[in-house]
Structure 1
Amino acid sequence: MTTADRGDGAVLGALSHWQAQGLSVRLATVVQSYGSAPYEAGALYALNAQGQEAGTLSGTCLGSWIKTRTGRIKERRVAVITAGPADGLDLPCGGRLEFLIEDNPDPNHVREWLAALGARACVRRTIDTVGGRPLLATASARESCRWTGHLWQGIYGPDWCLLLVGADAISIHLARIALSLGYSVTVSEPRAEHRAGFPAGLATVTEAMPDDAVMALQPDARTAVVTLAHDPRLDDLGLWAAAPSAAYYVAALGSATTHARRCARLLGLGLDPATVSRIQGPAGLAIHSRTPAEIAVSIAAALVSYKRCETHGRIHFHVTKEVAHS
């Protein structure tokens, strides 16, 4: 799916909340990105008449520019604006952006859109700037956003999810990075002493066993599962449940030797070699990381790398012949 990691559900949730309070609102959508502008087509930005913001442009020069350029929120308006040097805005990164501006979109439409994402559906939102109301339809995960100059078709999927097995220093650093990347983070930690050391409010922490946590989450193509418990009894349970799932990235902490032993155990538990080969081990990209923070960075980099891969991470990392054919 060619959508950004932009936390669409959070933006729409804020928009719907403001509308329920009776506030005038504006929704801006990036419909075209030129040059090195760091925002993808489909990125959402919302604001209300009190100046509150939500979305990837919040607190940026672009957010401030949109507020100034578009003026007072009107009763019901759809417009297209550009942001770039010719429009009086020199972006630090260069490039140019084109925005679809909607003032006070239909609250029922916003709620329907939000409900679809809450149900982890992929939807296509179509809006014709010449006339007509926005429409929502079920979309394929392989569809791309499309802009013709007057017709916008945006592809929106549910927020990205990350399930971590084990609450330790790496989990804390990784949760913080993942949140900044737009993931919702859940930590499975049955051990009370480990849960006690995890910062309150950083992520959703469950004492459920890892396999139960995976099954409760029902991983889809926008879900990643990483085991960090340093306890084979817990890590293996999480991997056993996650490897056959639709999760786009499944990985485990540990050395290559540890991973080979882990794979052998999972094969013994009934998983087939192709399924076991989906598990990346050691987790993360090879950046010679050593400290918990560095390891978290390497894993976060792998999350992004797999997500940006055309096959959504369906890269089968090599399992040694001794393991694969045991």
Structure 2
Amino acid sequence: MSIANNEQEILAQAIDWIADGHTVRLVTVVDTWGSSPRPPGSMAVVREDGVLVGSVSGGCIEKQLAESYSRLARDNPTEQAKTNGVITHHIDDEAARRFGLTCGGRLELLFETIQDSSTLNPILDGLSARKRMQRTVVIDSGEVDITSASSEIRFHYDGSVMTQVFGPAWRLLLIGAGQLSRYTAEFALALDYEVIVCEPRREFRDAWTVSGTELIDLSPDDAVLAHGLDAQCAVLALTHDPNQDDLALLEALPGDAFYVGALGSRKNNEKRSKRLMGLGLEASQLARLHGPVGLDIGSRTSAEIAISIIGDLIRVRAQRSVPEHSAQSQHA
């Protein structure tokens, strides 16, 4: 069993398995009650030999899902499609305690046997172009429709239809490749951000060692225009050099990035705001700036400041990503 970090990875794994001749089943959390550790919209994909990628319960029932599907595929392969649909799984109190939950819970899971990748490929194609894609499943018929997403709601389930919006990948554009950016990048990678680091200063570029990031040699304003303007992006100006940070902020604040932050004290932030307003930014645009960047947790070291920044990103991102639950749910 493997815990994939994002929806795109799970869908890509399903497509690869289908191409290799495997039969796969997509499992999606459509509703929860009690102390369920994974929210609606969480997914896993399991193939006929029991290999599973993803997570629908944080480990509580994944092994059971893999074993039951492997047994079904082995003993009654013609019956797989008949077991599609929504099934309720219970997490008893003993299992809950084993996985660090305060009490048991209940999950409603949608099972779909995927025969070919035609209902998945368009999603990955759209995500590659940084589009938001919507997958709608009619539960009774299994009919699937894929379109570009127009709603801000990321997940909805009403008992008969499931609608799920995918991506694009969350992206973090860091201006500056100093020590603070290094810690921030490492934490962001663990949270499944695509991390791009803009550093026009050669001496800092040469010292950058964080694998899994993209290091670009552009001026900060050009970097924002190229990589940081859509609503799945966060832009952090961390050089502490107004000549660099201000260029990034002038482009980022009028854009759609869900988070724009800059390093500096409150006094420096006031000076920065006056400079940016003098350069043409409006008060409403400046109001979007998180400065000083990060949560106020008394951080001092670079690692502590990075934690405060990541904490604030989590807070703001969570406010934008809460799924719409089933109206019929009675959550504990």
- TM-score norm. by structure 1 comes to 0.85
Cα distance between partner residues in 2 of 1:174 and 1:226: 10
Q: Which residue of 2 aligns with 1:102?
A: 112
Matched, 1:67 2:73: no
Q: Which residue of 2 aligns with 1:316?
A: none
Task: Give 1:191's match in structure 2, choosing from 201, 204, 229.
Answer: 201
| Conserved 8 A contact 2:30-2:110 | yes
| Conserved 8 A contact 1:139-1:155 | yes
| Conserved 8 A contact 2:273-2:286 | yes
Residues 88, 259 of structure 1: CA spacing in aligned structure 2 closer, same or farther, 3 A cutoff? Answer: closer
Matched, 1:172 2:188: no
Q: Which residue of 2 aligns with 1:324?
A: none
Q: Any stretches of 5+ residues in structure 1 without a counterpart?
A: 313-326
Give the Å deviation of 1:56.
4.2
Structure 1 stretch 48-57 or stretch 117-126: which is displaced more?
A: 48-57
Q: Which residue of 1 aligns with 2:24?
A: 25
Matched, 1:244 2:250: no
Residues 96, 172 of structure 1: CA spacing in aligned structure 2 closer, same or farther, 3 A cutoff? Answer: farther
Q: Which residue of 2 aligns with 1:119?
A: 129
Q: Which residue of 2 aligns with 1:79?
A: 85
Structure 1 stretch 282-291 or stretch 230-239: which is displaced more?
A: 230-239
Aligned length: 308
- TM-score norm. by structure 2 comes to 0.83
Cα distance between partner residues in 1 of 2:186 and 2:57: 19
Give the aligned CA root-mean-square deviation in angstroms. Answer: 2.7
Corresponding residue SS for 1:283: coil
Residues 35, 67 of structure 1: CA spacing in aligned structure 2 closer, same or farther, 3 A cutoff? Answer: same
Cα distance between partner residues in 2 of 1:263 and 1:311: 29
Q: Which residue of 2 aligns with 1:45?
A: 44
| Conserved 8 A contact 2:50-2:67 | no
| Conserved 8 A contact 2:28-2:44 | yes
Give the Å deviation of 1:52.
4.6
| Conserved 8 A contact 2:50-2:69 | no
Give the Å deviation of 1:220.
1.5
Equivalent position amino acid for 1:221 in 2: A
Give the Å deviation of 1:145.
2.3
Matches within 5 A, 1:294-313: 294-309=304-319
Q: Which residue of 2 aligns with 1:322?
A: none
Q: Any stretches of 5+ residues in structure 2 without a counterpart?
A: 323-332
Matched, 1:234 2:250: no
Q: Which residue of 1 aligns with 2:7?
A: 8
Give the Å deviation of 1:248.
0.9
Equivalent position amino acid for 1:152 in 2: M
Give the Å deviation of 1:143.
2.6
Give the Å deviation of 1:146.
2.5
Matched, 1:201 2:201: no
Q: Which residue of 1 aligns with 2:329?
A: none
Corresponding residue SS for 1:16: helix
Q: Which residue of 2 aligns with 1:141?
A: 151
Cα distance between partner residues in 1 of 2:213 and 2:267: 31
Equivalent position amino acid for 1:234 in 2: Q
Equivalent position amino acid for 1:145 in 2: F
Residues 228, 179 of structure 1: CA spacing in aligned structure 2 closer, same or farther, 3 A cutoff? Answer: same
Task: Give 1:258's match in structure 2, choosing from 268, 283, 305.
Answer: 268
| Conserved 8 A contact 2:37-2:58 | no
Corresponding residue SS for 1:205: strand
Residues 85, 8 of structure 1: CA spacing in aligned structure 2 closer, same or farther, 3 A cutoff? Answer: closer
The sequence identity of aligned pairs, in percent, is 37
1:160-183 Cα offsets, whole Å, 9 max, x none, are 111111112221221122122221
Cα distance between partner residues in 1 of 2:154 and 2:56: 21
Cα distance between partner residues in 2 of 1:293 and 1:250: 20
| Conserved 8 A contact 1:253-1:282 | yes
Cα distance between partner residues in 2 of 1:17 and 1:224: 30
